[in-house]
Amino acid sequence: MEENKKICPKCKKENEEDTIFCTNCGTNLNKKKKERKKINLPKVNKNILIPIITLFIGAGLMFGIISLYNPTLITNVTKVEKDVTVTDSGIADAVEKVYDAVVVVENYNNNRLISTGTGFVFKEDGEFGYIITNNHVIESANEVYITFTNGTREKVDIIGSDEYSDIAVLSVSADKIISVAPIGSSEEARIGDTTFAIGAPLNYEVYSWSVTRGILSGKDRLVEVSLSNSTSSDYVMKVLQTDTAINSGNSGGPLCNSNGEVIGITNMKLASSNIEGMGFAIPIETAIEYANTYIEGNTIDRPYLGIAMYNISDLRNSLFGISTDLTDGVYIYSVENDSPAAEAGLQKGDIIVAIDDNKVTNSAYLKYLLYEYNIGDEVEFTYYRNDREYKTTVKLTAKDSI
């Protein structure tokens, strides 16, 4: 009987032969254990297997090196470019503040148009509006006309002008004025500040009220100026430097800051054909000082020295036969009787090299330094006579020219 019993493989209890599930633990007594089939793999020749494995390892290493140093050879790279928002909206608002104050200036001599330039209304007193421009714009004029942005053309009066400062002031009836330009400060302006100019370059009938933009490139620049067509300099001006484009016809127009305030008077006379990206402007403080002097009915009186002079640099090895080791200074060719120079003991043949310890390189710098003083000031001059250095004090008086 025991041979017909089923032994549970799990709990090892006996069950009847026809029992399907163990009466003790419920295990299926008819389920047979799966036998794993043994797979016989073919034998591989080691001499063939080793080179194959080596080949795959080498290929993997090569792939890694290439992907490290030049990933574009392995995969396509997609570049995503972001949209850029330009935040600089321009200076249109600033331009509008001064635009209608700018005028075109026409210089007529004997009913013939001699030259044109630019100016701007800087002041009005209820009766008159006053326009600043450059002296060289209205020089030799019998009549001067201005044109406003609305097309109105008016004849104006010349209140005053000065060749050394290159400032001129015009007046027109106040009821003709459209706008007065806001005035800023060149002294508070910083290098790198945005600047712009408005003017009538080249052909004023085509390009009037053109706007150009740049930055303030420099301050207190000393620039030599020729008051005539000669190659030598007659005077030195202290000016602002800008890379704002200034062309012929822009002279006398405003140089403004980014707030639309005038900080200078553009001056094409200080530029030349071999200068690019360098424009110059007279500081607004200087221009208004001279302009108000004329509006108040006064004249510009400068110190007077009373000598005729030549630059040492021009006279060395010349027909004058001057023998000196000096390379800078001014040679006194003649001295006026009873002049400040004569009273101080200066003589023909003396060479002036300094004024109050400020170096005098030529006649242009002598005038510049001299005109920094007021009438009645006492100034120390350093000069050479017969190759010996001397000093003397000159008391300055007034006269129209040096």
List active site positions: 136, 166, 251
Which residues lie below 8 Å from residue 239, measured CB to CB, with a gap of 6+?
Answer: 221, 223, 264, 267, 270, 280, 281, 282, 283
| Identity of residue 212 | T
CA dist list (Å): 350 to 18, 306, 307:
149, 14, 11
Dihedral (Cα; 251, 256, 262, 266), 10-degree rounding: -20
CB count within 10 Å of CB 255 equals 32
CA dist list (Å): 255 to 214, 216, 225, 246:
10, 10, 20, 10
**Alpha-helical runs (H) found in 139-279:** 204-207
Q: What distance in Å separates the CA atoms of residue 129 and residue 103, rounded to the nearest whole number?
A: 12
Asked if 50 and 63 touch (Cβ cutoff 8 Å), the reply is no
Q: What distance in Å separates the CA atoms of residue 388 and residue 56, rounded to the nearest whole number?
A: 97
Determine whether 391 is exposed, middle or buried from the number of CB atoms within 10 Å of its CB (0-12, 13-18, 19+): exposed
Tokens of 274: 């071999």
Q: What distance in Å separates the CA atoms of residue 132 and residue 167, rounded to the nearest whole number?
A: 7
Q: What distance in Å separates the CA atoms of residue 340 and residue 307, rounded to the nearest whole number?
A: 9
